[in-house]
Amino acid sequence: MKPWVCVGKIVAAHGIKGQVKIKTFTEDPENITRYGALVDSNQQPVNILSFSKNSPTSGVGSIANVTTRNQAELLKGTQLFVHQSQLPELSETEIYHESLLGLPLLASGKKLGEVIGVYDFGAGVFCEIQTPSKISKISLTGCKVGTAGFCEINTKGKIGTIHLSSCTIFTEHLECDEINFLI
Question: What residue spans define the domains of the chain?
Answer: 4-86, 97-180
* pLDDT above 80: residue 100: no
Q: CATH code for 4-86? A: 2.40.30.60
Q: Grade residue 122 by pLDDT with cuts at 50, 70 and 90.
A: low
Largest CA distance in the chain: 58
Across 72-86, 88-102, 169-183, which has the greatest mean pLDDT?
A: 72-86
DSSP line for 77-100: T-EEEEEGGGSPP--TT---HHHH
Report pLDDT digits (tens) over 5-42. 889 999 999 999 999 999 998 888 999 999 888 999 99
Same topology, domains 4-86 and 97-180? Answer is no
How high is the pLDDT of residue 181?
Answer: 40
Q: What average pLDDT does the segment 83-97 reach?
A: 77
* pLDDT above 80: residue 174: no
How high is the pLDDT of residue 26?
Answer: 84
User: How many whole angstroms separate alpha carbon 39 and alpha carbon 151?
Assistant: 35
Q: Where are the alpha helices (DSSP H) in the chain?
A: 69-74, 97-100
What is the reported pTM?
0.66
8-state DSSP, 71: H
CATH tag for 97-180 (out of 3.40.50.2300, 2.60.40.10, 3.20.20.60, 2.30.30.240) = 2.30.30.240
User: Exposure string (b/e) for 145-171, b if CB count within 10 Å is 16 or more?
Assistant: beeebebbbebeeeeeebebeebbbee
